[in-house]
Amino acid sequence: MNLDETAVPLEFTHVRGNLIHRSGGQKIKDLPKQKASRSAVRCFFTHVAIICDDPALQPLLPQVLFFSSRHLSWQVWSELQASLPPNVFLRRQVSGWSNTEQHKVVLKILCLVLEPYLATRQPIIAFDAAPLHLQASVVELLGELNLWWVLVPKKETWLLQPLDTHAFCKYKRYIKARWLEKILARQGRRHVKDVVLIVVGAIRYVLQGNAWSAAFKANGLAGDLADVSEYIKKQLEWPVLPAIEATPPSEANLRKCWPATRRVPLREIFLSLGLEDPGPVAAPFGAAVEDSFVAEPDADTVPLVAADDDDVPLVPEEPTLSDDDVPLVPPLC
């Protein structure tokens, strides 16, 4: 599996190029247009996305949307619950960004979803070096939940993380296409509810509508280095990838994967891997940092043939994220 956060704008007004008006053609005032305030253009919310290499499990994986309470009223939140599929959670809170505590809730939800399959499968989750992923409490929780994990090294997500290399570009392309369709249909100004429904469609037709097994293989996350793409080998300047020994990570290797300004929770890492406690560390492993995460918009460079939103019905279910401050998933014993 691969987990990552991405920022989604409330208003898709980012258009490249110039608008040219030819004389004798349609008047500019009659062309489709979108009205958006400056504050709305600057507003984003966070989608915590999870994909895997098994198409049968993909529709079960949780997809969590974090909205600021300033942009999502209780009334709109309540109206949207009936339109959400069972694996999509809409959380209304003070900030539209995720943080360490909310990230731990997402991991607990993931384990609850996968519980029926744990007898025959061992879940492995890959994530990047965002601050909220690297907190000692998060690493400790991964061990408690028996989630094996892979850290995508710092500054290498563009090359190795499937969500960044294959999924988010299609996902953003789909959202923008559906948004522009509504503008061209002259349906008036868009609202938060429209954005959420479009994102739900993107989850259904992009994240769940594509098989990601080839992406995991090409990025080296399927267990066989022979499947790694030639592009990655070229970027790494390794014609032949070296063999990897099944040994505990060394301090030097951990430092290479961790950002230089982040604290490496060495004790929690070893315990989460079922290894012996390394004991006290003589030298510090970096400075403490804020555990909040601010997602950056992803570049959408891959074209997508969009599907019709009405093809597949979305099954409503009771909402599972409804309170502003209290996580609704109890800690696992």
pLDDT tens digit string along 228-279? 999 999 999 988 888 877 787 777 888 888 888 888 888 888 887 777 766 6
The structure's pTM equals 0.77
The first and second tokens of residue 270, run together, are 């070893």
Look at residue 233 in the predicted model and tell me its pLDDT.
93
* pLDDT(16) > 60: no
Look at residue 325 in the predicted model and tell me its pLDDT.
44
Please give the torsion angle defined by the CA atoms of residues 233, 234, 237 and 240, in that order, rounded to the nearest 10 degrees. Answer: 40
Look at residue 126 in the predicted model and tell me its pLDDT.
97
Q: What does pLDDT average to over the chain?
A: 79
pLDDT per residue over 134-163, tens digit each?
A: 899 999 999 999 999 999 998 999 999 999
**In which element (H, E) is residue 277 found?**
none
Mean pLDDT computed over 222-232: 90
* pLDDT(94) > 60: yes
Look at residue 40 in the predicted model and tell me its pLDDT.
62
Look at residue 225 in the predicted model and tell me its pLDDT.
86
In percent, the amount of the chain with pLDDT more than 90 equals 47
- What confidence tier does 5 reach under pLDDT thresholds 50, 70, 90? very high
* pLDDT(193) > 60: yes
- What confidence tier does 210 reach under pLDDT thresholds 50, 70, 90? very high
pLDDT per residue over 61-78, tens digit each?
A: 999 999 998 888 999 999
Look at residue 1 in the predicted model and tell me its pLDDT.
96
The first and second tokens of residue 124, run together, are 């492995």
Burial of 117 (0-12, 13-18, 19+ CB in 10 A): middle
The first and second tokens of residue 227, run together, are 């499947």
- What confidence tier does 30 reach under pLDDT thresholds 50, 70, 90? low
Residue closest to 151 by CA, chosen among 174, 171, 131:
131
Look at residue 10 in the predicted model and tell me its pLDDT.
82
Q: Which positions ≥6 away from 134 have C-beta within 8 Å?
A: 151, 258, 259, 262, 263, 264, 265
What is the number of other CB atoms lying within 10 angstroms of the CB of residue 37?
A: 9
Q: Where on the phi/psi map is residue 223: left (φ > 0), alpha (ψ -120 to 50), or beta?
A: left
Integer CA distances (angstroms), 151 to 112, 123, 290, in order: 22, 14, 19
